[in-house]
Structure 1
């Protein structure tokens, strides 16, 4: 039988217990109960009460899901059972001893007390679990939680006098304009004073004559950071919340006065007011520190990457404005789009630029020369701001990616009709397109049309699936990792190309099959589960795997920045604890399993 001193010595080698002060560590050590379990014995069963978590001292344990599927294989210094404790004390898994084990059992009361009093415990046992993260900052809230529900509205043919009376009686500063149930515009007190009173219009003037038609709006799943960034960048005070074309809420400056602007919003403010590329570059140089602050604040990876991408979007729009100020107004409508990680709203501390231009078909050759100059100005500006030139020249400065809409339509049709390897690669990039600045109408119809045509072409889908299997997780033999064997990154794994990219590729395939217009990987995985493209259990596992891998990548980049180094995607597995390595490998196993499943589906299609 081990003594308390032996348990204390063991705990000192296990994270996060090694972070506890010595007196607290001694107290916690006395709370553990030691047990011996024979090989093949069931430690606990799915759905049974689970009073605490387990720490493996010797032996190995297999953790299974409700259907008996493998969740993880754990060895010494690994913990298990914590996910059950997050679900009202009932086991969310089944645990079996693969071999004789010595287990240390920490009662639930002590575990929860540590989660409350010791931040390292909270970070350790919730990392990668986006649903367990809590943050009261405005930037991290969803618009659906922030908005004023049951928004007041009027019809386009109502008089401005009746609209003013409604705003006065309701103590509000704006009304949504709704026609046949659809949201079509916004009228504010500023519209009434500036467009009606100041212009001497009669009180019988219809609202349609003074409203802002098709104003900027946000969906309920957008973030509070989106509200701040839009209000600061566009200098607006009201944001309608719209879902499926219907007005469901409103956010005004009054709603956010109790919150302080976040760091990302401050960067957006500074960028929106910048007059030169040099001023903008000075702002974007603060992005690495923002990444460190967000990761250090336990911000979920999808929020961190969204905030960082918002900054890139603002830089792009500001450069477009400066370009037009220098070159003159655009001769015909155009649309600047981002692809790659910016298009998916997944930028990290390491980002090059991927972009293109859609130009109205009315453009003449002289007009095209204007857009070539605009592309050079913007791409050079992005490069100066730290978004380096794309090594594959996937940029609007490449004449191929600065083209009329009809040319783009031809590209898409050819890629779908003849899905050779190059077409697959290009299609993969282009399915991640997201409008940044200009006439969105140039893309919206084309996007829907292309998505429908591609999804109906089984040969194209099969080729896209094959393309999605070219990047594989870095899984080695004997429950290890397949690291680089030589070179600059010896003994490291690539958390981008072998980590998040396989998931990005799977998400793109699922979106194609389900005809989802979403560009963001996490949104695509959620949509695939909702649409039945993948099973609910498979979707949940894949989402958890994505969250863990993406968060590990951000944590790695933040560690490098804090150490005064440049962020990259190459991490040595030895930098992680045994627990972290085990769970990261589990996540890679999930990805490989889902790749196998989609590969089998490809075989069925062909």
Structure 2
């Protein structure tokens, strides 16, 4: 390391919205100690062809501030900053940080909301890990998306947000008609809906006297997996810090009116209230950190049908707004214990294998006899869900922090040695079914029909690929059975 304490720069890996930021960056980050001079910092930025450097405390490794090339040159020119002055005197403090184990998607949303070009990544103890820039997190193409993002961030009342929710749907319907790939579609939907929900939370939070304790808005199900489609209801909750069990009831009562207002506003935006009442406004899902642990522990120890149903929703938890560490700590706690309950894991596997293929033995289509929509297949129940369930099991067993199904399968393949071609076929099959679902939702006038398709109405190629995709479910389930159901 040079005498100034300056460390070499990092190089970024290819961007994927679902991967953790920790895996997105490579090598040592570019840092300077607070005593380094402005001249030394400028020389480093020039040598490394970098545009920013983080000022880090040499002892604790806590990030203190950030220096961008633009800012330091402006201060030299306009404020006549001395080149020998310590860099701490010109750095920008009040850093915006995100956990190193957060997702690229999360970082992109934070950058857009805060209007910044760099984010500092930290470890769980607050020490510095690395830095990520907008150049690392490539924005998805489309000027219309940029217009929507700016409009959402500029919204100052709920009626405006409600109107923008309709514009998001129209934007996505257009992308569906252009046959944009399903993974990109779901990521765009999730990014825009995340921003919309965060804006709703911010608009409403100021109207309530919320407790002065750390809290976080959680999302579950398809939203937690970044797999929202055009037909999705709410699955959310709230986690808060409480010093003791005795404090939790009063804190909950203080959060519930706010949570109810958010749920009702989201309903007005086109995200229907959850029929199963899995929402933050339900006292059952507005819990302290220890109460959430108790709920998860109850499902692990008593793998009854209700527990397996809850697992299929709540185990896909993701932090959306607030103190991310509360959600991350809860996920870590779950990973440490899940593998210790083999009966639960076996029950999850058996439940996922309880799937009736919509293919006949001669590879024609079998229909489920729905009276309202005969001669159709439910692409969610019989198509995408078995992929989602299998990926969730692997994530728990292998401690994979990603919530997205495609990313869970990718990491599973890397750790389990699934051949590349087989892994690609599994993911492509899942994405093809998702694209068919989105296409149907864009065209279906009735909510009940949004996941149903008549194979005879599909293009010949889509019908053929659907058959092959459903065969991949059987391949995935055979692998799952071999690995987790001893003979």
Q: Please state which band the TM-score falls in when normalised by the shorter chain.
A: 0.7 to 0.9
> Quick one: which of 213, 229, 237 aligns to 1:348?
229
Distance 2:434 2:141 in 1: 28
Could you tell me whether the CA contact under 8 Å between 1:528 and 1:539 is conserved in 2? no
> Quick one: which of 394, 400, 403 aligns to 1:519?
403
Q: Which residue of 2 aligns with 1:295?
A: 176
- Tell me the alpha carbon deviations over residues 167-204 of structure 1, each in whole angstroms, 9 at most, x when there is no partner: 7746865213467897946513587679xx98x99933
Could you tell me whether the CA contact under 8 Å between 1:510 and 1:528 is conserved in 2? yes
C-alpha displacement at 1:237, in angstroms?
Answer: 3.0
Could you tell me whether the CA contact under 8 Å between 1:301 and 1:551 is conserved in 2? yes
Q: Which residue of 2 aligns with 1:541?
A: 425
Q: Which residue of 2 aligns with 1:397?
A: 281
User: Mapping of 1:300-319 within 5 angstroms?
Assistant: 300-319=181-200
Q: 1:240 to 1:299 in 2, by over 3 A?
A: farther
Distance 1:226 1:303 in 2: 17
Distance 1:166 1:285 in 2: 50
Q: Which residue of 2 aligns with 1:372?
A: 256
Distance 2:222 2:253 in 1: 28
Could you tell me whether the CA contact under 8 Å between 2:400 and 2:408 is conserved in 1? yes
Q: 1:150 to 1:602 in 2, by over 3 A?
A: closer
Give unmatched runs, 5+ long, in structure 1. Answer: 1-137
Q: 1:261 to 1:234 in 2, by over 3 A?
A: farther
Q: What secondary structure does 2:333 align onto?
A: helix
User: Mapping of 1:453-472 within 5 angstroms?
Assistant: 453-472=337-356
> Quick one: which of 188, 206, 222 aligns to 1:325?
206
Q: Tell which deviates more after alignment, 530-539 or 476-485.
A: 530-539
C-alpha displacement at 1:347, in angstroms?
Answer: 0.5
Q: What secondary structure does 1:188 align onto?
A: strand
Q: Which residue of 2 aligns with 1:265?
A: 146
Is 1:231 the counterpart of 2:115? The answer is: no
Could you tell me whether the CA contact under 8 Å between 2:215 and 2:322 is conserved in 1? yes
Could you tell me whether the CA contact under 8 Å between 1:475 and 1:585 is conserved in 2? yes
Q: Which has the larger radius of gyration?
A: 1
Distance 1:453 1:375 in 2: 29
- Tell me the alpha carbon deviations over residues 246-272 of structure 1, each in whole angstroms, 9 at most, x when there is no partner: 53753369x989x97632332222122
> Quick one: which of 37, 40, 53 aligns to 1:175?
53
C-alpha displacement at 1:489, in angstroms?
Answer: 1.2
Q: Which residue of 1 aligns with 2:4?
A: none
User: Mapping of 1:156-171 within 5 angstroms?
Assistant: 156-159=33-36, 161-162=38-39, 165-166=42-43, 169=46
User: Mapping of 1:275-286 within 5 angstroms?
Assistant: 275-286=156-167
Could you tell me whether the CA contact under 8 Å between 1:376 and 1:397 is conserved in 2? yes
Distance 2:295 2:198 in 1: 26
How many residue pairs get matched? 457
Q: 1:578 to 1:173 in 2, by over 3 A?
A: closer
Is 1:247 the counterpart of 2:127? The answer is: no
Q: 1:364 to 1:506 in 2, by over 3 A?
A: closer
C-alpha displacement at 1:465, in angstroms?
Answer: 0.9
Q: 1:140 to 1:370 in 2, by over 3 A?
A: closer
Is 1:493 the counterpart of 2:377? The answer is: yes
Q: What secondary structure does 1:285 align onto?
A: helix
- Tell me the alpha carbon deviations over residues 30-68 of structure 1, each in whole angstroms, 9 at most, x when there is no partner: xxxxxxxxxxxxxxxxxxxxxxxxxxxxxxxxxxxxxxx
> Quick one: which of 376, 380, 388 aligns to 2:272?
388
Q: Which residue of 2 aligns with 1:593?
A: 475
C-alpha displacement at 1:417, in angstroms?
Answer: 1.9
> Quick one: which of 457, 461, 465 aligns to 1:579?
461
Distance 2:413 2:20 in 1: 23
TM-score (ref. length: structure 2): 0.81
- Tell me the alpha carbon deviations over residues 329-387 of structure 1, each in whole angstroms, 9 at most, x when there is no partner: 54211011100100000001111010011011135544322200111011111111011
- Tell me the alpha carbon deviations over residues 384-411 of structure 1, each in whole angstroms, 9 at most, x when there is no partner: 1011111111111111100111111111
Q: 1:476 to 1:148 in 2, by over 3 A?
A: closer
Give unmatched runs, 5+ long, in structure 2. Answer: 1-14
Could you tell me whether the CA contact under 8 Å between 2:29 and 2:131 is conserved in 1? no
Could you tell me whether the CA contact under 8 Å between 2:176 and 2:438 is conserved in 1? yes
User: Mapping of 1:9-24 within 5 angstroms?
Assistant: none
Q: Which residue of 2 aligns with 1:44?
A: none
TM-score (ref. length: structure 1): 0.66
> Quick one: which of 181, 188, 204 aligns to 2:86?
204
Q: What secondary structure does 2:388 align onto?
A: helix
- Tell me the alpha carbon deviations over residues 135-159 of structure 1, each in whole angstroms, 9 at most, x when there is no partner: xxx9999999xx9999982224334
Q: 1:156 to 1:391 in 2, by over 3 A?
A: farther
Could you tell me whether the CA contact under 8 Å between 1:241 and 1:250 is conserved in 2? no
> Quick one: which of 353, 363, 366 aligns to 1:479?
363
C-alpha displacement at 1:535, in angstroms?
Answer: 5.2
User: Mapping of 1:102-121 within 5 angstroms?
Assistant: none
Q: Which residue of 1 aligns with 2:8?
A: none
Q: What secondary structure does 2:402 align onto?
A: coil
Q: 1:299 to 1:390 in 2, by over 3 A?
A: same
Could you tell me whether the CA contact under 8 Å between 1:337 and 1:356 is conserved in 2? yes
